[in-house]
A and B are shown apart, each in its own frame.
Chain A
Amino acid sequence: NAGVTQTPKFQVLKTGQSMTLQCAQDMNHEYMSWYRQDPGMGLRLIHYSVGAGITDQGEVPNGYNVSRSTTEDFPLRLLSAAPSQTSVYFCASSPGQGRNYGYTFGSGTRLTVV
């Protein structure tokens, strides 16, 4: 089925470990974004991309890296996990042309850092 696929769905990390959250979409969308959702905070933008090879920082980029080598994939790397990064992470994508399209969201990755 077409859509945004996030893996893993759940992950427990120890403080200081690194890991990559995977995000892939098969809709040929130009725009992709990563958000984190914490209770009472809504969704906060971490990083976003408007096309392969182009990335930019959002509201809360510290501690996270991204790259966009293909249109389909937009992995999020946690460099050295901290308890403050415990959150639910969502990846989303949107057609870029015309800019007046909504985003399609993945089902999320629930990350716990202990």
Chain B
Amino acid sequence: SQQGEEDPQALSIQEGENATMNCSYKTSINNLQWYRQNSGRGLVHLILIRSNEREKHSGRLRVTLDTSKKSSSLLITASRAADTASYFCATRAGGTSYGKLTFGQGTILTVHP
């Protein structure tokens, strides 16, 4: 079974609003990453947060990580139509499985102009 579960599965907002996506995972991790995928394209790495970090920022992106709850959230502030895409969380395992990066099922974000 996949490591990450994302919520909501789909999100529709107006340009300028904030978008929040959540990710839960099951086992211990080394880090958690967020990716974006535009329709029909490959994935693009957005941001990485280590297991000993609680919050990280990159431009309009804010990621939080709560290892006690095994959950993370991605906030996109002041969204734009160009942010329309699928967003995936991915977890890098710890221990001997450190080479594995496991993805959730993704959130489809639609930003209306």
* Contact present for A100 and B105 (CB under 8 Å): no
Distance, CA A37 to CA B50, complexed state (A): 26
A44 vs B1: C-alpha distance when bound (angstroms)? 9
Quick check: is B42 within 8 A (CB to CB) of the other chain? yes
Contact with B along A31-65 (1 / 0, CB 8 A): 10101000011111100111000001011000000
Q: Does B45 contact A (CB under 8 A)?
A: yes
CB distance B105 to A104 under 8 Å?
no
- Residues of chain A lying within 8 A (CB to CB) of residue B103: 35, 42-45
How many residues on chain B are close to A (CB under 8 Å)?
Answer: 27
Q: Is the CB of B99 within 8 A of A50?
A: yes
B93 nearest in chain A by CB position: A99
B22-38 interface with A by 8 A CB criterion: 30-31, 33, 35
Q: Which residues of B contact A107 (CB under 8 A)?
A: 41-42
In the complex, what residue of chain A is closest to B50 when comparing beta carbons?
Answer: A100
Instruction: Name the 8 nearest CB pairs between A and B, nearest first.
Output: A102-B45, A42-B105, A105-B42, A50-B99, A43-B103, A105-B43, A107-B42, A42-B103
Binding site for B on A (CB under 8 A): 31, 33, 35, 40-45, 48-50, 56, 58-59, 90, 92, 94, 96, 99-108
Taking Cβ atoms with an 8 Å cutoff, the residues of B that contact A are: 1-2, 4, 30-31, 33, 35, 41-46, 48, 50, 88, 90, 92, 98-106
